[in-house]
Amino acid sequence: MPIDYTKAPDAQAPTQRGPVSLSKVTLTKSTPSVSLTKQGPATGTLRVNLNWNARPAEPTGLFRRQTPGIDLDLGCLYEYTDGSKGVVQALGDSLVDRHTFGSGPICRLDGDDRSGSNSAGENLFVDLRNPAVVKRILVFAFIYEGTPNWAAANAVVTLFPVAGPQIEIRLDEADPAAMMCAVALLEGNSTDVSVRREVRYLRGGQRLLDQTYHWGMQWTSGRK
């Protein structure tokens, strides 16, 4: 049973910065979606990178207080054309998709960077060698540790297709009471895989994300 977590303890983490590319497509409210097939062959492994400012600037002055670091977690909900569904996330040792299609998992995380010391951020890999099996994959980011402060985190999700430009989605809106952000929705059919910007903040955890997007799974509470 997948695990949902909604409470965030304090943590400390240094700043993270990701690489800059001049060859990219930025998804916005006015241009929210893009076709991977139209950018080039959709087959191969798609890398989804989350990078953020784990250590916001400290306040100045005689009575300044140290600001706790921000620990963001990258994950996804997945649903395939055979009806299988689940979650890939650091919590509950769910770093790898448990529903494989012969060649191995479709979705997997490279690990959980709780210290914020990894300059590469966190990465989700999506195997699109057989894109027809993908119905939908919802990429999300969750503030696991630290005060909900999306503005200070300055988070950005970048998708690296096998062909075509990078696809950038900036989490540039804020809700100080929200721990969860639905970032992007990948949808497949027999000929195409599309990416749609969501950037939808939710005041809850994975259970609320599931309900909002009608995933239909059962959840249990847990912590890392």
Closest-CA residue to 19 (of 51, 55, 57, 61):
51
Q: Which domains does the chain have, with CATH numbers?
A: 9-55+69-215 (2.60.60.30)
138 bridge partner residues:
77, 185
pLDDT tens digits, one per residue of 170-179: 998 878 899 9
Cα(124)–Cα(4) distance, integer angstroms: 19
Cβ-based neighbours of 61, under 8 Å, separated by 6 or more: none
Please say whether the beta carbons of 148 and 129 come within 8 A.
Answer: no
125 bridge partner residues:
47, 108
Cα(208)–Cα(140) distance, integer angstroms: 12
Please say whether the beta carbons of 223 and 205 come within 8 A.
Answer: no
pLDDT tens digits, one per residue of 20-79: 445 899 999 999 999 988 876 667 899 999 999 876 655 545 555 555 678 899 999 999
pTM: 0.83
What are 131's two structure tokens?
Answer: 């894109």
